[in-house]
Amino acid sequence: MAIPSDHGQRSFGDVAPSLAELTDRVLFDGVWQDPALSPRDRSLATVSALIALGRTEQLPFHLRRARDNGVSPEELAALVTHLAFYAGWPVAASAVIRLRELAQEEARP
């Protein structure tokens, strides 16, 4: 599933219009569309980086994107477990909170 071309504008364009434009044009229209990596692989790399860096505010969007790109809930849980040993237990435990929120979101009718 493609990221909407105005995601940055809708998310924070009212506060940081230049950042929103760069996000939409360079990141989502450029980097995310590069065929050198599949969307699934990009999602795994992005989620891994966000977890390792403790960037839990951005995780919900990218966890949903990973699911849209074919990453299963079991694979996401395994990724978090794997990262616990390389990035640290606290960041993995924080990511589990976001995984739980995603599971609850997906379970809603």
CATH of the domain at 61: 1.20.1290.10
CA distance 7 to 10: 5
**How many domains does the chain fold into?**
2
CA distance 67 to 80: 14
The reply to whether 23 and 45 lie within a common domain is no
The reply to whether 24 and 43 lie within a common domain is no
The reply to whether 28 and 48 lie within a common domain is no
* Segment 28-46 mean pLDDT: 91
Q: Considering only CA atoms, which of 44, 64, 70, 69 is closest in space to residue 106?
A: 64
CA distance 99 to 109: 18
In eight-state DSSP terms, residue 84 is H
28: pLDDT confidence band, cut at 50, 70 and 90?
Answer: confident
66: pLDDT confidence band, cut at 50, 70 and 90?
Answer: very high
The reply to whether 82 and 97 lie within a common domain is yes
The pTM of this model reads 0.86
